[in-house]
């Protein structure tokens, strides 16, 4: 080192040289009080580019840019160090070659024991890399502020490498609720739910972004006021020359989208459930139809046997057990139809509170003393429109299910209240309209259901009970009935805490009406004529026997076309008793409509095990339609027929006295032996031919069928007949020509013409004849036969 006149010798002492020469990472040198360089080290050569001999003795301002020298920055630095003892700064400095670098500078004032200023020690470190990173971050932040400060739809902010918020945009303030002053400097984990924060979710996202460059996820986030929102989050790592300088984080509130997605999923699930139920409903409805026909044959024949052998106690006991089994089968079929929404409902406006009150005693008997029952009815309860008998069955089934879920006893709560289902509630339920409903809740304190059980609870035949303890049709029946009634049903359950079934039925503004009371009393007989239309021949035969035993005159047809032919034949009919589902091109309702047009006095009673919407629309039996559901008992049939035909004081129709005395006697003795006639009946319509012959047989006469004139002529040649009953319009030859041939073969034969057109009086036929105008009643036919016997009412 060089000695100067102004420099004390101790500045160049060995300890300073040793300290300065110990490193080449820093420029370490001594300054005279006036700023001249006194010493130099290897670090100074590396940092500034000067060798010792080139720089010692020069003023240290040589390292400052020209602008800083002009502003007096070097002198200010020395003055500050002298006054405070140390001067710390960063700034641009110059190298020997004219290049610049960012320097971290420390100038320390050196004084003797008396406080006299001896000079300065100066340490300079090249921190250009740090400056570049700093500038990049600053530039990035500035660009960030310019780009995102006006964005309000997204929360956009930056984080330090360890997750602290460094800036904040307007969108972040709107979405998260914090102002910039409230949040900058806080750790971003405060935006996460306590559960996610405890699980380390925030820092995991930063780690992934640091490792992979980007992290993207969705989840719940927390606003300043504690509310939650569903957020879509993107975190991008920001690097400068490979060094992480922070993160850019974008958060978007997608709660509405998430809710829409959840709603869509709920709707899809509900639609799938609805389609599944619809498909199962069609399947079970078809099965129930065939099953009910089988049950009808069984029940009808069992009751016919009971009527004949019921006095024998052994037989009556066995028949009773068999009939009970049929009853169980009928209930099973009824549940299948209810699930499939194929019941023929007869809804009326009911007061649900009154209906529930009327069930109170029945429920208490069914549930037993171990179950406490509480009924809660809200004030101002609305009426609803529903089939009351079916609703009672649903309530009873739900109560029994609740009882079974409380084997050690518990509490059953039945609650009735008005309810409004808004658009938001019904959005995921495709077949439930928004509006006003009456809500019935059935709640138990039982074992509850798991989620898996709840998902299958409405499926038919699904049951958690042991085999033989339940059919698995209780809830499915309730589901189908409520849906068919235009309502809605929801299930809420928690294992160990019980179950609630909520039923929503449409509100009615009409006054409540009383349900029609069931007909009770002895079985009523009758004497009217009933046309039975049934394609299942076994069912047909059974029903004919049941009605005949009740005293009715019974005609039959196997399809709608045959039935129309019988009706068109002119035979008197009081009641059309027809199955709803029939084969052939003509539907039963259409056939019934045509029949009542031809015979205005005709009453119609439908029967079916499955309606297929033929007489049921909107889940309701069509207005004015009477239905007897299969399988029905002899007693139900008798009461329903009498209900349709009307009851007199003696249990028969008031118009019975108009019937011919012949039909009022037992069929096998309707006509005395000496008055019976052999009658050749000619008609090319097979159904009409069968009907007329059936009626003649039941009246005691002996008919023979001929479907065309040639067969009739052959029969006339081979056999003797008392009467020829022929249609006028026949294939090949007319009824008049056939009658002439008959008279030629058998001059004593009597002629009766049947025609839809009136026959004019004429004298050129050459034989006596009587005419019947189609459609003709039974008494007219029998009167015509009697007239031919007594030569009365003859046309000449």
Q: Which string of DSSP letters, residue by residue, matches 576-641?
A: EEEESS--SSS-HHHHHHHHHHH-TT-EEEEEES--TTSSEETTEEPTT--EEESS--HHHHHHHH
* Contact (Cβ atoms closer than 8 angstroms) between residue 479 and residue 459: no
Task: Assign 662 to helix, strand or coil.
Answer: helix
The confidence band for 31, taking pLDDT boundaries of 50, 70 and 90, is very high
Is residue 224 in a domain?
A: yes
- Do residues 659 and 683 share a domain? no
Helix H, strand E, coil C: the string for 723-739 is EEEEECCCCCCCHHHHH
Q: Who has greater pLDDT, 39 or 632? A: 39
Is residue 515 in a domain?
A: no
Mean pLDDT of 777-786: 77
- Do residues 141 and 113 share a domain? no
- Do residues 533 and 411 share a domain? no
pLDDT at 58: 94
Mean pLDDT of 253-267: 71
* Contact (Cβ atoms closer than 8 angstroms) between residue 244 and residue 136: no
**Whole-angstrom distance, CA of residue 457 vs CA of residue 472:** 9
Is residue 519 in a domain?
A: no
pLDDT at 331: 63
Question: In the predicted model, is pLDDT for residue 409 greater than 80?
Answer: yes
pLDDT at 22: 61
pLDDT at 364: 84
Question: In the predicted model, is pLDDT for residue 175 greater than 80?
Answer: yes
- Do residues 281 and 362 share a domain? no
* Contact (Cβ atoms closer than 8 angstroms) between residue 558 and residue 534: yes
Question: In the predicted model, is pLDDT for residue 79 greater than 90?
Answer: yes
- Do residues 199 and 149 share a domain? yes
pLDDT at 8: 45
Is residue 520 in a domain?
A: no
578-587 residues labelled b (16+ CB within 10 A) or e (exposed): bbbbbeeebb
**Whole-angstrom distance, CA of residue 232 vs CA of residue 216:** 8
The confidence band for 454, taking pLDDT boundaries of 50, 70 and 90, is confident
Distances in whole angstroms, Cα of residue 406 to Cα of each of 82, 148, 372, 486: 92, 62, 11, 31
- Do residues 75 and 26 share a domain? yes
Question: In the predicted model, is pLDDT for residue 130 greater than 80?
Answer: no
Is residue 716 in a domain?
A: yes
Q: What is the DSSP string of 243-263?
A: EEEEEEEEEEE-HHHHHHHHH
Mean pLDDT of 757-761: 55
Report field, pTM of the whole predicted structure over 0.95: no
- Do residues 649 and 683 share a domain? no
The confidence band for 691, taking pLDDT boundaries of 50, 70 and 90, is confident
Distances in whole angstroms, Cα of residue 548 to Cα of each of 188, 532, 542: 90, 11, 10
* Contact (Cβ atoms closer than 8 angstroms) between residue 336 and residue 284: yes
- Do residues 542 and 647 share a domain? yes
pLDDT at 654: 37
pLDDT at 480: 75
Mean pLDDT of the chain: 78
Percent pLDDT > 70 in the chain is: 74
Q: Return the minimum-mean-pLDDT range out of 299-313, 425-439, 563-577.
A: 299-313
Give the tens place of pLDDT for each residue, 727-744.
887 888 888 889 989 998
- Do residues 13 and 119 share a domain? yes
The confidence band for 653, taking pLDDT boundaries of 50, 70 and 90, is very low
Is residue 516 in a domain?
A: no
- Do residues 713 and 631 share a domain? no
**Whole-angstrom distance, CA of residue 269 vs CA of residue 279:** 15
Q: Return the minimum-mean-pLDDT range out of 82-86, 503-507, 526-530, 646-650.
A: 646-650
Of 312, 339, 366, which residue constitutes the final position of a domain?
Answer: 339
Give the tens place of pLDDT for each residue, 220-232.
899 888 888 888 8
- Do residues 652 and 709 share a domain? no
Mean pLDDT of 158-185: 87
Percent pLDDT > 90 in the chain is: 14
**Whole-angstrom distance, CA of residue 646 vs CA of residue 455:** 50
Residue 767's domain is classified under what CATH number?
Answer: 3.40.50.2300
The confidence band for 119, taking pLDDT boundaries of 50, 70 and 90, is very high
Range(s) of the domain holding residue 494: 348-508
At 308, list the tokens.
């004949």
Identify the burial level of 437 via C-beta atoms within 10 angstroms of its C-beta, where 0-12 means exposed, 13-18 middle and 19 or more buried.
buried
Structurally, how many domains does the chain consist of?
6
- Do residues 49 and 117 share a domain? yes
Mean pLDDT of 600-629: 67
Is residue 4 in a domain?
A: no
């Amino acid at each position: 080192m060089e000695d100067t006149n102004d420099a004390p010798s101790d500045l160049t002492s060995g300890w300073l040289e040793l300290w300065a020469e110990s490193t080449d990472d820093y420029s370490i040198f001594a300054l005279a009080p006036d700023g001249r360089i006194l010493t130099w080290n290897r670090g100074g050569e590396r940092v500034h580019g000067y060798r010792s001999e080139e720089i010692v003795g020069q003023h240290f301002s040589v390292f400052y840019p020209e602008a800083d020298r002009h502003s007096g920055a070097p002198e200010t630095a020395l003055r500050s160090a002298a006054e405070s003892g140390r001067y710390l700064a960063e700034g641009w400095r110059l190298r020997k070659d004219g290049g610049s670098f960012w320097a971290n500078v420390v100038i320390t004032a050196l004084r003797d024991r008396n406080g006299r200023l001896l000079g300065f020690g100066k340490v300079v470190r090249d921190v250009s890399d740090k400056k570049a990173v700093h500038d990049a971050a600053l530039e990035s932040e500035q660009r960030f502020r310019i780009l995102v400060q006006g964005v309000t739809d997204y929360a956009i902010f930056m984080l330090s490498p360890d997750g602290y918020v460094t800036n904040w945009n307007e969108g972040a303030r709107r979405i998260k609720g914090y102002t910039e002053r409230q949040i900058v400097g806080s750790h971003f984990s405060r935006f996460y739910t306590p559960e996610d924060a405890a699980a380390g979710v925030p820092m995991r996202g930063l780690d992934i972004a640091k490792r992979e460059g980007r992290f993207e996820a969705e989840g719940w986030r927390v606003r300043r006021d504690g509310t939650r929102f569903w957020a879509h989050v993107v975190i991008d790592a920001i690097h400068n020359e490979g060094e992480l300088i922070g993160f850019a984080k974008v958060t978007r509130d997608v709660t509405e989208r998430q809710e829409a997605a959840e709603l869509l999923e709920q709707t899809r699930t509900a639609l799938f459930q609805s389609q599944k139920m619809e498909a199962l409903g069609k399947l079970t409805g078809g099965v129930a139809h065939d099953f009910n026909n089988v049950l009808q044959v069984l029940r009808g024949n069992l009751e016919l046997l009971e009527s004949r052998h019921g006095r024998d106690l052994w037989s009556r006991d066995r028949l009773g057990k068999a009939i009970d089994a049929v009853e169980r089968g009928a209930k099973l079929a009824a549940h299948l139809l209810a699930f499939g929404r194929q019941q023929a409902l007869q809804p009326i406006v009911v007061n649900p509170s009154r209906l529930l009150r009327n069930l109170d005693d029945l429920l208490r008997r069914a549930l037993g003393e171990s179950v406490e029952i509480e009924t809660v009815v809200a004030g101002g309860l609305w009426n609803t429109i529903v089939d009351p008998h079916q609703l009672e069955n649903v309530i009873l089934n739900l109560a029994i299910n609740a009882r079974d879920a409380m084997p050690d006893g518990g509490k059953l709560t039945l609650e009735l209240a008005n309810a409004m289902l808004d658009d938001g509630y019904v959005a995921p339920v495709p077949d439930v309209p928004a509006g006003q409903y009456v809500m019935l809740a059935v709640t138990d304190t039982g074992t509850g259901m798991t989620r898996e059980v709840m998902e299958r609870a409405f499926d038919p035949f699904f049951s958690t009970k042991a085999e033989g303890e339940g059919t698995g049709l209780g809830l499915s029946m309730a589901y189908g009935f409520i849906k068919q009634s235009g309502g809605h049903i929801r299930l809420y359950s928690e294992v160990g805490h019980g179950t609630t079934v909520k039923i929503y039925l449409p509100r009615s503004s009409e006054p409540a009406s009383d349900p029609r009371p069931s007909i009770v009393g002895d079985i009523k007989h009758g004497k009217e004529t009933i046309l039975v239309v049934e394609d299942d021949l076994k069912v047909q035969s059974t029903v004919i026997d049941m009605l005949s035993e009740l005293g009715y005159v019974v005609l039959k047809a196997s399809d709608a076309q045959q039935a129309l032919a019988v009706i068109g034949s002119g035979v008197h009919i009081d009641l059309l008793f027809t199955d709803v589902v029939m084969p052939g091109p003509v539907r039963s309702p259409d056939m019934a409509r045509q029949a009542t047009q031809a015979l205005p006095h005709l009453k119609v009673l439908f029967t079916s095990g499955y309606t297929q919407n033929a007489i049921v629309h909107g889940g309701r039996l069509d207005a004015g339609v009477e239905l007897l559901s299969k399988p029905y008992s002899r007693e139900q049939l008798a009461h329903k027929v009498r209900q349709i035909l009307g009851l007199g004081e003696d249990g028969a129709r008031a118009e019975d006295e108009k019937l011919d005395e012949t039909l009022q006697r037992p069929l096998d003795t309707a006509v005395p032996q000496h008055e019976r006639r052999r009658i050749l009946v000619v008609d090319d319509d097979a159904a009409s031919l069968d009907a007329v012959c059936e009626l003649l047989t039941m009246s005691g006469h002996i008919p023979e069928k001929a479907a065309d004139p040639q067969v009739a002529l052959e029969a006339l040649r081979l056999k003797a007949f008392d009467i020829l009953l022929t249609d006028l319009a026949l294939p090949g030859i007319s009824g008049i020509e056939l009658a002439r041939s008959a008279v030629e073969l058998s001059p004593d034969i009597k002629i009766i013409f049947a025609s839809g057109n009136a026959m004019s009086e004429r004298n050129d036929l050459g034989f006596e004849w009587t005419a019947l105008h189609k459609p003709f009643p039974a008494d007219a036919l029998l009167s015509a036969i009697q007239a031919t016997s007594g030569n009365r009412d003859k046309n000449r």
